[in-house]
Structure 1
Amino acid sequence: MTTFAEDAVVVGGENLVLRRSGSSNGPAVVLLHPLGLDRRAFDALRSALNPIWNVVSYDQRGHGTRVAHDRFELEHLVEDAVAVCQSVSEPLHLVGHAMGGVVAALAAKRLRNVQSLAVLAVPLKSQPAFARRAESMEAGASAAVFEESLARWFKGLEAAPRYPTAVAYGRTCLDATSVQGYANGWRALASFGSLELASTGVPTACIAAADDASVPLTAFEALTSGDACVSGRVQVEVVPTGGHMLPLMEPEATAARLENFWTRARRMHAVST
């Protein structure tokens, strides 16, 4: 059974709770959770990973222990990610899920200790729907927006063994999230424009589920056929099922793809240095 430890620290002037697992002396991995969840979003994934990794996650603004920090913009989320990564001295593997993937991709461009970047179920472009959801939250339709989020996250997965536990966890997180925090999360997603994953400067993997109702596979066509794919700068991995919440619903398949990617990235780093 995976053991989790939590430390209250000050990073970049912010009070954070770092959730740790794995080996404190192992290669570092920093995980950024999606909009609506919290630092525990990767617990199932962490249990599926080899215990050699030194894995760290934290609550982004407006979530978990930082739910009261609900007045934020995308830049604040990126600054937090940069500060956390800079607090880890050795080269690290940076992983972001959905909104966390957007933040991770933007942070990676500012960091020098990132050995690889992996984004899970990440939107590559801002969508008009993101801003509309923020407006709906502030217009008093928060309950409907929360229910729509749960439906998108787990669409078609009702028969999966992990479905009841995953949905219960998602609902608990959303119930604890403020209207302003969720609205600002959607507003952050509406503001990034587009992600240029090929220009991060590090090996990059984009992992998606074939049945994701939030970010369909068609969103990644440019990566699978464009120059980024041909040059090997961006690797696209598809998991057959898991919906938008891959780490929760298919942790073993996600972990296997991440570990294979990290191994290749470490070899590439060794060759380049």
Structure 2
Amino acid sequence: MSFDRINGIALHHRVDGPEGAPTLVLINSLGTDYRIWDAVVPMLAGRYRVIRYDKRGHGLSEVPPAPYRMEDHAADLLALLDHYAVGEALVVGLSIGGQIGLGLAAIDQNRLAGLVLMDTAHKIGDAAGWNGRIAAIETDGIASIADQILSRWFTPAFRSPDNPAFRGYTSMLVNSPSQGYIGSCAALRDADHTETARNLEVATLCMVGDQDGSTPPDLVKACADLIVGAKFEIVEGAGHLPCIEQPEMTARLIGDFAGEIFGNGAAS
């Protein structure tokens, strides 16, 4: 893992896979860090250069004061690509990560070899919902709404108290920096990438867990319908974080799509 000052903040990031290979960037969801991709990366890094990072206010990255704008997150991503001297990448964005990918498209589509919009949409939620979440966290902390969030993140089978992975990801959520979480809630509240999606001219895959309670399949399909030529896939047996519950299927879909874009077949 590495720390560098990127776009003015200390960003925690990591690269796996062969130097010079086509680049994938994996962007994690709200309230998580880049470890949510741990089970997926080994299935992709044999053929691709895989970059992960903790977005501002998350994981081990610096936590600027809230609120944030989606443009801030997109500028961080662009600066990270410059840091690694990546001309274009396949960006895989989960939840807010997909919004960040669309934010990059709004700045410069030429930096995108392709886009995987995973459990995300052009517009997520409304101002009242995000403001209510911000107020609850400011008053009582993330733990006060954790059960509600986790019920949307994971399938009932995964949410067993006997499942140590569930307990671990619960800890990841409740221990997220509050300023970083509410800062990104504000970014999601204010972001609307409807027109960006309509004008997208890069190869796009939209995928979603069949039991996603945060961005349900119908919402993700509506996003796919805005994008000319976009593919749409449903991951069975997964909630909002298919990379955790169904890593093999997630890696296969990403790898197959990357192979179509870069012309070197599916990831092993």
TM-score tier, shorter chain, comes to 0.7 to 0.9
- 1:45 match: 40
Task: Name the TM-score, length of structure 1 as normaliser.
Answer: 0.85
CA distance in 2, matches of 1:104, 1:221: 17
- 2:185 match: 186
Task: From 258, 261, 266, give the equivalent of 1:265.
Answer: 261
Task: From 102, 110, 115, give the equivalent of 2:113.
Answer: 115
* Contiguous gaps of at least 5 residues in structure 1: 1-5, 268-273
Percent identity for Structure 1 against Structure 2: 24
Counterpart amino acid of 2:219?
A
Offset at residue 167 of structure 1 (A): 1.9
Q: What SS class does the counterpart of residue 257 from structure 2 fall into?
A: helix
Alignment of 1:68-83 (within 5 A): 68-74=63-69, 75-83=71-79
CA distance in 2, matches of 1:121, 1:110: 22
- 1:102 match: 99
Offset at residue 28 of structure 1 (A): 0.9
CA distance in 2, matches of 1:51, 1:141: 40
Contact 1:166–1:249, Cα closer than 8 Å, also in 2: no
Task: Name the TM-score, length of structure 2 as normaliser.
Answer: 0.86
CA distance in 1, matches of 2:18, 2:213: 35
- CA displacement, residues 46-89 of structure 1 (integer Å, 9 cap, x when unaligned): 12325111111111111111253343412221210111123333
Task: From 32, 54, 63, give the equivalent of 2:58.
Answer: 63
- 2:266 match: none
Contact 2:4–2:10, Cα closer than 8 Å, also in 1: yes
Task: From 101, 124, 127, give the equivalent of 2:125.
Answer: 127
RMSD: 2.2
Change (3 A) 1:122 1:9: same
Offset at residue 19 of structure 1 (A): 1.3
CA distance in 1, matches of 2:135, 2:226: 37
Offset at residue 221 of structure 1 (A): 3.9
Work out the number of aligned pairs and report it.
256
Change (3 A) 1:179 1:244: same
Deviates further, 172-181 or 76-85: 172-181
